[in-house]
Copies of this chain bind each other. A is one copy, B any other.
């Protein structure tokens, strides 16, 4: 599947930058909400580099509506970040977005404002070169 391809590209791109993948999928367990059921859909990975710990939510943005994809990405990001605060508070959550999606959609004013308002962290990657382009 396409989304698995993007997942693998991000994983490899992180390794190229010296990150060690410590869990793939990375499962967050909260006692009263079954995140793992959901994680089957679009899975997180966890990585470390020196004393940094991150979790990465990889969104493919392949549905016909980028706005719908953004709703889901935003809600998932906030829920995962809130869950991480409980179970793994030192781990920073990032949303991984392909560079054409970032350029065409994430630079629109409404989306820029949402990213600012909800303090989303982004990692932009390039599919052809298989590299991380930018951390935001």
Contacts and interface: CB of A to CB of B under 8 A. Distances in A.
A72 B69 CA distance: 9
With most chain B CB atoms within 10 A of its CB, the pick from A67, A75, A79, A83 is A75
Contacts of A30: 110
Interface string A49-89: 00000000000000011011011111110110011000000
Contact of A65 (B41, B73, B114, B118): B41
Interface in A19-41: 30, 32-35, 37-38, 40-41
Chain A, interface size category, equals: 20 to 34
A4 interface: no
Contact of A33 (B38, B67, B73): B67
A111 interface: yes
B68 A79 contact: no
Contact of A37 (B38, B65, B74): B65
6 contacts: A35-B67, A37-B68, A68-B72, A72-B75, A74-B74, A74-B78
